[in-house]
Amino acid sequence: MSYPTVNYIGNKEKIVNWISSLIPDDATSFLDVFCGGCSVGYMAKEKGLTVYANDILKINYYIAQALIENNGKIIDATDVDRIFKGEPCEGFMFQNFANQFYFPDECKQLDMIHENIIKIKDKYKRALAFTLIRRSMIRKMPYSRFTIKWEKVVELRDEELSYAKYGRRRHYHNQSFQFHFEDNLKEYNDAVFDNGKKNRAFNLDVYKAIEKIDADIIYLDPPYAGTMNDYFGFYGLLDAYIEGRIVEPFDNNFIDKNTIVKQFDQLFSKLGKYKYWMLSYNSRSKPSKEELLVLLEKYSNNIEVHEMPYAYRVTGKEKKQKDIEYLFVVKNDK
Ligand SMILES: C[S@@+](CC[C@H](N)C(=O)[O-])C[C@H]1O[C@@H](n2cnc3c(N)ncnc32)[C@H](O)[C@@H]1O
């Protein structure tokens, strides 16, 4: 098995082996409390740890159910037939988002697919189906995020115009949801495995999650304040689609540079029950490494800061930025 193509903004896929090598040997359980696309939780599952994966976005909860909690359920050919059968209909997506992110006919297809997915009885198959339709929606969306204006979407989906202007046709944006679903199916099915542990997915705000979930290690990969970090903007549409209703942006998402030091201070003060804290951050964000160390030193005399050069590339931006990725490994010993 291996982690499939999820394409989550801010994912740690490229440095996951480095993170893995720094996990303390005596730990048996791992809470990935800002799990996003689950690249780190998945690595911890492969390592044989009991994994708890949490995120405030519903879509990420489904990714965690499908890839972390799920030990064996896959989507077979009969499931695919059921997911794509029927007539496109004028449902929630058509009524609210036609000509905003997708063309009206595509919204009608999404509405039909949604009707079919929510009828799937097995929760892991249902989660895997939502995870795969997410992948299809992301594939069809220019720049893979839902913060792009409709005029730009239309421009980038015009293959001739896109070729003339950018030298790329981006044909994949115009292939069907079913095409992308089936194209990714094997990769996602193959990623499902049992590590012999009772792993679990959660859809909670970080503060609720830490009240509820015990583990040896808490891994923190919050949005980085000062970088591209509008997770509600990037992916909130997927939550609306899954829920079939307009969803409100979430609070408390670690993006405001002016309050971020206070937010970390408050978060760290609540992590007393975890033996190890592992925190990802980078050199371009606020607080700085030094500021974070001051905050962490209140709780530990045993802090390691590991550094890794990292080329960060935002889809749609030409420039690659060279940053240093930090991993703070804290043994909570005060
Ligand atoms: C940097 S991303 C995590 C990326 C992940 N490690 C991966 O490899 O895909 C940060 C995540 O924090 C989540 N998040 C933001 N605010 C949150 C909160 N208050 N509680 C829980 N999750 C939150 C976002 O939805 C986003 O998925």
Ligand 1: which of 203, 210, 231, 279 to mutate, judged by most atoms within 8 Å of the beta carbon?
231
Q: Distance between CA 75 and CA 126 in Å, rounded?
A: 9
| d(CA 215, ligand 1 centre) in Å | 18
- Of 274, 273, 278, 284, the closest CA to residue 328 belongs to 278
Nearest-CA residue for atom 3 of ligand 1: 36
- Ligand 1: list residues with CB < 6 Å: 8, 10-12, 34-37, 39-40, 55-57, 60, 205-206, 221-223, 231, 252-254
What is the model's pTM? Answer: 0.96
Domain ranges of the chain: 1-71+198-241+251-334, 73-192
Model confidence at 314: pLDDT above 60: no
| d(CA 33, ligand 1 centre) in Å | 8
* Least confident segment among 30-34, 158-162, 311-315: 311-315
- In this structure, is the dihedral angle defined by the CA atoms of residues 116, 122, 125 and 126, taken in order, positive or negative? positive
Model confidence at 318: pLDDT above 70: no
Atom of ligand 1 nearest to the CA of 206: 20
Q: For residue 313, what pLDDT band results from cuts at 50, 70 and 90?
A: low
Q: Distance between CA 75 and CA 262 in Å, rounded?
A: 44
Nearest-CA residue for atom 15 of ligand 1: 253
| d(CA 3, ligand 1 centre) in Å | 18
Yes or no: say if 174 and 159 are a contact pair by the CB < 8 Å rule. Answer: yes
Q: Distance between CA 154 and CA 236 in Å, rounded?
A: 20
For the chain, counts of helices (H) and of strands (E)? 14, 7
Assign domain 1-71+198-241+251-334 one CATH number from 3.40.50.150, 3.40.228.10, 3.90.550.10, 3.40.1390.10: 3.40.50.150
Q: For residue 320, what pLDDT band results from cuts at 50, 70 and 90?
A: low
